[in-house]
Structure 1
Amino acid sequence: MRLQPEGGRHRPGGAEGGQAHRRRPARRRARLGQRALSAVKKLGAALVTLAVLLVVALAILGRAVHEDARIPPGAAGRHVLVGATPIRYVQAGTGPDVVLVHGSPGSAEDWEPILAWLSPRFRVTAFDRPGHGYSGGAERPHTPSENAAVALDLIRALGLHDAVLVGHSFGGAIALDLAIRRPPEVRSYVLVGAKAYPPVPVEPIYRAVTLPLVGRGLATALTPLMGRSRIDAGVRESFGPNEDAMPAGFVARRAPIWTKPTVIEALSEERVGYGEALAAMAPHYGEIRPPVVIVCGDEDKNHDDAVRLGREIPGARLVILPDTGHYVQFARPDELAALIEGAR
């Protein structure tokens, strides 16, 4: 048996050994911290790379989308150039002029009942606003003021005069802009379910679509999400108590138009800038002098705006329709047509 001499192998102990024992966990913790920091840096770099690739992909996707303003077979109307922008319009009847301006989104089809009611006695013109329906102009600014300028240029290009201008929803803001400016080509205004005052709630997705460089690509990527079920839910909410007045195929006809990337892009820009535009216009409502008729359903979410607007525009006539939602032109076409005719 081998005995270990007292002066043999040293084993740490005492104060010195305790300090070494404490240093080992500290070193392990330091190494773990360094590894975690390295992993975070690598993850950050990967996320930055992914973000850059996503931006590049969306930019490429957006550049691949070309504006298509062609009027498909079976759709009514023709184009007229307003500046360099092809604007699609539908015209029916002869007589005094009535001009119809749709909401956001929308198209000339939104006025079919009124075209049918008024065309026996009036020359009625409905058009697709820039970026909507089968009009060009996706690259134009999409503000009420810019749209008002396009509407006025269209009126002049078609030789219309002494017109009654009717604006529905967002189209009502366009009518208000023109009423403040008082162009001689328009004699009076009818506002239908118009939003006239801020604030205007904006969904985050619409703000994202307005981002520079990636907006159109994002709008293209979102097209499947803006499907028929989402549109159907929004339309039914707008019809409200008048859902039975919704024509057969209403959503089926509009979904392919409303989900075009250029349309999503246009309506997103409109929604984002809507509140600011209304805030700039509202102080001038008291300066409006042409005759104005304000029409709104009592179930329309813009009802309070209509009542307030009726107080602020001198001499305005306010008509609140009972048991009626946002789409007055479908729910009460006969009453709306009579109000438009009376605006002359």
Structure 2
Amino acid sequence: MSTIEKVPTLVFIPCFSGAPWSAEQLAPYGELPRRTLRLPEGVNDIERYADFVENAVADLDDYVLVGDSFGANIALALATRRPQGLRALVVSGGFAANPVDSKPWKALAQVMGKARGLFYRQLTLRAHAHRLASPFDGEGQVPWSEARSREVFLANTPAASFGARVQAVLTADYVEVLGQVQVPTLILTPSHDVLIGENASKIMLAGIPDAREVVLPRTGHMFRFSHPATYATAVKDFLTAVLPTTRQAAGA
């Protein structure tokens, strides 16, 4: 069997919007085999999302999970099950448990999750886009903005799914089982993230046995969208270090 045939498939798990990786976001991965998913609608439990991903990779003998934000929590949940084909894990802007520790923000999140119609489109999504923003969004390979974040949600995220995912976040907690992740893990962290506090990455770094963190300077929570080449370079560097068979396909 040739080296290229042994390269695991990168499986990209979306953020809270549910939108799969775009061609622009996938292009920097070169010849690495890849698969992207769209999250199912109306699901309010991380374990059920993990079931969905597990079914989606059932035909793969070797794969790497790459989860972004909400998708990172899903990827982490699946990794704690120690699936046979999993070779490595990448979590970006992610968390092991609900990252919102402010009681007022928790209460507001629940209200936002119940919004529908004009209130959802004009207030909830604008407030959420503001929380996602960073001062560095306009500096990336794809200049980003709060308006563009809101557009992603308008195009991909029904209000009922937004609300269901809020409930999933509020009840997620994998802190006590992080030790069950038994594959090399990259914690990819933006340098500026209002939505996800700095403790989230520290908890994962302390709890996952073979974890390392890379902080990407001058990036924000939406760095999958604004800095796709920078993001991909960090992922490829990690994979070529822990999975040498990916070197040629990654263009290293």
| TM-score class normalised by the smaller sequence | 0.7 to 0.9
Aligned to 1:129: 39
Supply the AA of the counterpart residue of 2:68: H
Aligned to 2:230: 335
Which of residues 10, 20, 23 in structure 2 aligns to 1:108?
A: 20
1:98 aligns with 2:10: yes
1:169 aligns with 2:79: no
* 1:146, distance to aligned residue in structure 2 (A): 0.7
Aligned to 1:60: none
Supply the AA of the counterpart residue of 2:152: R
Which of residues 227, 236, 248 in structure 1 aligns to 2:121?
A: 227
Equivalent position SS for 2:218: coil
Is the 8 Å Cα contact of residues 137 and 223 (structure 2) preserved in structure 1?
Answer: no
1:270 aligns with 2:170: no
* 1:112, distance to aligned residue in structure 2 (A): 4.2
Equivalent position SS for 1:227: helix
Which of residues 296, 317, 321 in structure 1 aligns to 2:189?
A: 296
* 1:251, distance to aligned residue in structure 2 (A): 4.6
* 1:334, distance to aligned residue in structure 2 (A): 2.5
User: 1:234, 1:274 → 2: CA distance?
Assistant: 14
Deviations 1:82-119 (A, max 9, x none): xxxxxxxxxxxxx641111112123014x54431111x
Is the 8 Å Cα contact of residues 17 and 153 (structure 2) preserved in structure 1?
Answer: no
Q: How does 1:315-326 map to 2 (within 5 A)?
A: 315-326=210-221
* 1:286, distance to aligned residue in structure 2 (A): 2.0
Is the 8 Å Cα contact of residues 113 and 329 (structure 1) preserved in structure 2?
Answer: no
User: 2:99, 2:184 → 1: CA distance?
Assistant: 26
Is the 8 Å Cα contact of residues 328 and 336 (structure 1) preserved in structure 2?
Answer: yes
TM-score normalised to the size of structure 1?
A: 0.58
Q: Percent identity?
A: 24
Q: How does 1:138-153 map to 2 (within 5 A)?
A: 138=42, 141-153=43-55
Larger radius of gyration: 1
In structure 2, the gaps of 5 or more residues are 1-6, 101-105, 244-252
Is the 8 Å Cα contact of residues 164 and 340 (structure 1) preserved in structure 2?
Answer: no
When the two structures are aligned, how many residues end up with a matched partner?
A: 221
Go from structure 1 to structure 2 and tell me whether the alpha carbon gap of 1:251 and 1:179 turns closer, same or farther (over 3 Å shift): closer
Go from structure 1 to structure 2 and tell me whether the alpha carbon gap of 1:333 and 1:177 turns closer, same or farther (over 3 Å shift): same
In structure 1, the gaps of 5 or more residues are 1-94, 132-137, 210-218
1:178 aligns with 2:78: yes
* 1:122, distance to aligned residue in structure 2 (A): 1.3
1:205 aligns with 2:103: no
Which of residues 148, 161, 185 in structure 2 aligns to 1:250?
A: 148
User: 2:16, 2:182 → 1: CA distance?
Assistant: 27
